[in-house]
Structure 1
């Protein structure tokens, strides 16, 4: 995609200038990298298939590390998606397992803020086990380059009074982490994703792709840390 290069340049030129997406104080808050690949042998099928056990696993890891958030997942080939048929291919071919965003794991109802000025492109509710639950997509302009940010696994209240075209200013709290009943039956977290082009999607956009299609999807789904700027604190 030829239009992605100017966008990458714009994001790089503004790196470190974006508002935080979640409340985070680098001077006092700890981050814990979380691994959801096959290399994490502690994350058993028993845990993945029981939401209470999965939530307890996340909470225990955060507590043991003294961390406010767990973070990671961009371009990660994950085993956790075996917990839901949402990520299976209907034809029985290769399932989707490659993660296209960054996950920030934390407490339910954690505030979610806009990293820069934008407008509500669309929003939706996808309650199937493993899906986004409540999701919001914002559209942005930066140095005359357009792009989109996606916020998945939100609370139902996050989309209650929302409307397309609604202006969201940088730093505005416009959503919050959902509880499992709202967020697709996941431990509370935010799926944050950056797309150069919505490619015709509205109220939804894939957050996971087949590994064999990795290059195609990553070309449009830019590293979220270009905006989050959090990995430097791991």
Structure 2
């Protein structure tokens, strides 16, 4: 059994050990599935080139559809990164998104979904980067899993130390605003890895299409943990 199947089996057999990542009540809250691929004609260069315009677009979409959060992005081939140097250093754009984004208000609380400990953390500053980032380490009956939380607030990094225990349901941090989260509309980048591959406080959140197969071996589907009800997703 490969690690992806081990993770799914662990979640199935240990439902009580998996908690919520954000405050979400299925009876009240809806989730808007965003499309940041080239298929979305609304994503003009002008929109993507302005954090202010993109933020307005994201939150207006959520408001119109009466959604508490926006979600999506796992293995999505995005045009979102076309104009950002961080993702386009040699002409081969890192456009394939490796995590799930959850869009919502700045200061939204992020909770730890699985008991673990702090692996590493740092402020990955710079245009288009994660900004404040926390990575947790989890031992799931012998299966090692790492969870990454990007685009947090600066305050989220305060009081942490390597190896610090983090209980299920304990606050990890809060969504950062655009001035601290890499100049993005407020959101969380949530990603799962089986191996940190030597990275500390950081791990690529996007890769080149040519690297998809290689990264997919190490990147787990965050939806296995998130388990948002299909009936609550607005498409």
TM-score w.r.t. structure 1 length?
Answer: 0.94
CA distance in structure 2 between the partners assigned to 1:73 and 1:165 by the alignment = 30
CA deviations over 1:81-108 (Å, ceiling 9, x no partner): 113100113xx24210000000000000
2:182 is matched with 184
- The runs of 5 or more residues in structure 2 that have no matched partner are none
Quote the residue 2:69 is aligned against.
69
Q: State the match for 1:82 in structure 2.
A: 82
For 1:30, the equivalent position in structure 2 comes to: 30
Aligned position for 1:48 = 48
Separation in 1, partners of 2:74, 2:15 = 18
Per-residue CA deviations over 1:146-180 (Å, capped at 9, x if unaligned) read: 11000000000000221111111000112000000
Pick closer, same or farther for the CA change 1:87–1:16 going to 2, 3 Å: farther
Give the distance between the partners of 1:222 and 1:62, measured in 2 at CA. 27
Structure 1 partner of 2:110: 112
- Other structure's SS at 1:32 match: strand
Query: If the length of structure 2 is used for normalisation, what is the TM-score?
Result: 0.94
Q: Which residue of 2 aligns with 1:196?
A: 194
Provide runs of 4+ in structure 1 moved above 6 Å.
Answer: none
Is the contact between residue 124 and residue 135 of structure 1 (CA under 8 Å) also seen in structure 2? yes
* Conserved 8 A contact 1:114-1:170: yes
Q: Is the 8 A contact 1:83 1:130 kept in 2?
A: no
Change (3 A) 1:153 1:47: same
Tell me, which stretches of 5 or more residues in structure 1 are unaligned? none
For 1:83 and 1:54, locate their aligned partners in 2 and report how far apart those are by CA, in whole Å.
Answer: 14
Partner of 2:217: 219
- Specify the SS of the correspondent of 2:95: strand
On the 8 A contact 1:117/1:170 being kept in 2, the answer is: yes
Q: How many residues align?
A: 232
| Counterparts of 2:178 and 2:31, CA distance in 1 | 22
